[in-house]
Chain A
Amino acid sequence: MRRLLRNPLGLAAAVLIAVLVLLALVGPPLFGDQAAAIHPDRINQGASATDPLGTDALGRDLLARTVVATRLTLGLAFLATLIGTVGGVLLGALPAVLPRRAGRLVVATVDILVAFPALLLAMFTAVVTGLGARGAVLGIGVALAPAFARLTHTLTASVAGADYIAAARMLGVPRRRILTRHILPNIAEPLILNTAQSMGAALLGLSAMSFLGMGVQAPSYDWGRLLNEAFGHVYVTPAVVVAPALAVALAGLGFMLLGDTFAKAAAGSAEPLGPTRAPTVPPAREAPDPDAVLEVRDLTVAFPGGVTPVRQVSLTVRAGEIVGLVGESGSGKSMTAAAIGRIVPHPGLVASARSTLCGTDLDALKPPERRALLGSSLAMVFQDPTASLNPALRVGGQLAEVATQHDGATRAEARSRAVRRLSRVHIRRPEQVARQYPHELSGGMRQRAVIAMGLMGTPRLIIADEPTTALDVTVQREVLRVLREAVDDTRAGALFISHDIAVVGELCDRVSVMYAGRVVEELPADALHRARHPYTRALIGSLPGMDTDRSRPLATIPGRQPSPADVHDGCPFADRCASAGARCSTRPALTTRGTGHTVACWEA
């Protein structure tokens, strides 16, 4: 509600509707007599001091009549909306409780009704049930119902597939109770905001019916009826239509805007948190590593509101080696990869003391030059290979495009290179696969095709972000082998990001362990069993292996990782650490504890 009032349109809608409701409440008692008073001396007059918006054929004050008519107009619109909503929701929810065949019949009926023009349905119903307010309300209500029924049915169907519905079914909860306790509460939000908009539609529809003489009949009057009566004199005294017309327009607008505002609020349009404060990092002092393909120092990524998912991360990847970056969800490992590839989503900002790719300082380049360098020297492989492949193009063509774009190869050359690369990632019958579309390949083949695509150019660095997480273990093994071979053949460096320390230990040469946005330990992969940071040790210990003692419980880590917004100054792991002491209230720096082994822990 507070969000509703902060939005200017929402505020306008709320004020408009509050005024209307107030008029509906106080209008008839305050202005009822004035609206009914007949003045034979002031018939069909325009604006005057006594009647600011003119008079009707009996000399009655039109402003007073419009104000008094608010109650009937809103009341009827409310009733029609009620009929439409309740009828529609019942009709739409019915298939969820009826036997399958009866349910289908209801759905088919709703489909037919939705196809029928709403106003025609309204008039038809009104004529059948008899002219007058009752007929019009019924008519509009019936006309609104099919759209509601369709919406309810669609929403119900999407919720009905959820696991918690299956769980309730297994617990023996009857279908009627599943509908009322699980389905309806979860679809209420879109239904409510649709109701607000329907209220506007009902008001306009009813006014139209009354205007056409099919709605409210004299001596009762709503806005539509007032318009109907005034319309005969519109050419003589145009002022007589102003009051009811304005009322209809404003009320319609108010409800439509309210519905819109509800919809926007429900869609969770993020509140702007203010600009991102650019992270500042002092420049690197030590000399750059001459063998490094990739070298980043103090890489930091910041988002608005103090959210800092990556904090001073330093990584070095040398030619021909695979560096693993391990961490749990929320540790900042994927954001680190995005920052290296310069694909951090807006409004995130990246800073570093140094970022060099093949000896070139990425920060010193102009954006087009940087894009060109990243495009030709960096290959990225993501968890979902379908995101990297265009479903509408053949696999071979997509691979060949890389060579024609970046290396200026001819089409025939590029094509034969694509086939060679596919066979290099152990895809059998590469010529045939090159002619196939991505959806015709299995998940493992697709991921290998993406790796082949990365190898089309001459990548110096391959970043693989959870490339095997969605794959089966046997397929995972294939993809890891292909990745290792690619690195050995091309002497490129690779950064392999994973949550699975076992996979990383097996594939990589060196491992960096991330926790709460920082690297907490860096060590050779074959020294993982000598890991010293309590977090790394717990990660390894909590993973059952094929030789784990089955009689003893697995090691666990109590608590949870702090979110990127509230990492405190001390050691980020101290709250969950069994060996934490007094010193841990200040954050330990990464210190060397052996060849290629650094640890950020006081107690290790």
Chain B
Amino acid sequence: MLISELTVRFGRFTAVDGVGLDIPPGTVTGLVGESGSGKSTLARAVAGLTPYSGTIEGVERGRVQMVFQDPYSSLDPRMRVGDAIAEGCRVPRDRRAAEVARLLELVCLPASYARRHPRELSGGQRQRVAIARALAAGPDLLIADEVTSALDVSVQGAVLNLIRDLRAELGLTMLFISHNLAVVRYVCDTIAVMRHGRLVETGPVEDVIAAPRDPYTRALLAAVPSPARA
């Protein structure tokens, strides 16, 4: 899919300023930047949740799904897990239960979880359900907006592994948003760095990390903490 000259304005404030981005099918593009850089607004525009100007080609409207940052507010507390996932399924009613079970298995949850309410699940399990719900619609593009930043470290690893497995299994095309460069490097093929609503650098992950061209990318890379200091 190809995004060109995408701009989002809120009143006089320009949140996303003429962004152009190419996401080839079957690849994962990482979008990094600090809070307020416009990366989440860009995602919401691509998902059709925010009005924008510019063009998005190669993906039908309604064929984009999104997984949100906070797994506690992205699932309806009154709706059972199975019903939430079934909402996106495009299969006849009689095959729905089997489809929900298949999707739960895809995100490594037992099929019995379909009858549970979100409050009975941990943060990591909720995020898996949110991923299953997004996959139910068979999206052309999956947007993951800071999906691991509200999770504990031990759970974050499991969700990242899941995303990589799904990608290999289903050939997903993804826009993966994160402020954590190490996470982006682990999951993505391409990196796009955003600052003040503009893209400052785009390129293959290894190239950008090995030889960043933009000073802001260099600052971001220098700020990544690493446990192996010694």
A-to-B contact residues, CB < 8 Å: 162-164, 166-173, 181-182, 185-186, 328-329, 472-477, 499-506, 525-529, 538-548, 550, 553-557, 560
Contact = CB atoms under 8 A, between A and B. Distances in A.
Contacts of A169: 48-49
Given A548-B186, A560-B122, A542 B181 contact: no
A558 to B, nearest CB: 8
B227 A329 contact: no
Given A170-B66, A499-B152, 7 more contacts: A162-B73, A163-B74, A474-B223, A502-B227, A505-B226, A544-B157, A554-B160
Interface string B144-187: 00000000111111101100110000000000000111110110
Interface string B126-138: 0000100110110
A171 B227 contact: no
A171 B137 contact: yes
A548 B223 contact: no
A170 B227 contact: no
A364 B115 CA distance: 55
Nearest to B150: A329
- Interface residues of A: mostly helix, strand, loop or mixed? helix
Given A170-B66, A182-B79, A526 B182 contact: no
Contacts of B229: 505-506, 525-526, 528
B211 interface: no
Contacts, number: 165
Given A554-B157, A556-B157, A544 B48 contact: no
B186 A550 contact: yes
A140 to B, nearest CB: 31
Contact of B154 (A172, A505, A557): A557
B153 A500 contact: yes
Contacts of A475: 34
A167 B133 contact: yes
Nearest to A527: B230
B73 A164 contact: yes
Contacts of A477: 222-223
20 contacts: A164-B76, A169-B48, A169-B49, A170-B48, A170-B64, A171-B65, A171-B87, A473-B179, A474-B34, A503-B225, A540-B227, A542-B157, A543-B153, A545-B226, A546-B224, A548-B185, A550-B185, A554-B160, A556-B155, A556-B157
B158 A556 contact: yes
Across the A-B interface, give the 3 residue pairs with the lowest CB-CB distance, nearest first.
A542-B157, A472-B34, A554-B157
B88 A171 contact: yes
A262 B199 CA distance: 53
Contacts of B79: 181-182, 185
Contacts of B87: 168, 171, 173, 181
B161 A501 contact: no
Contacts of A542: 153-154, 156-158
B152 A329 contact: yes
Nearest to A443: B35
A506 B226 contact: yes
A556 B34 contact: no
Contacts of B95: none
B62 interface: yes
Contacts of A557: 154, 157
A551 B125 CA distance: 24
Nearest to A166: B49
A539 B154 contact: yes
Contact of B223 (A328, A473, A544): A473
A94 to B, nearest CB: 21
Contacts of B68: 163, 166-167
Contacts of A162: 73-74
B227 A529 contact: yes
Contact of B227 (A163, A166, A182, A501): A501
B133 A553 contact: no
B106 interface: no
Contacts of A560: 122
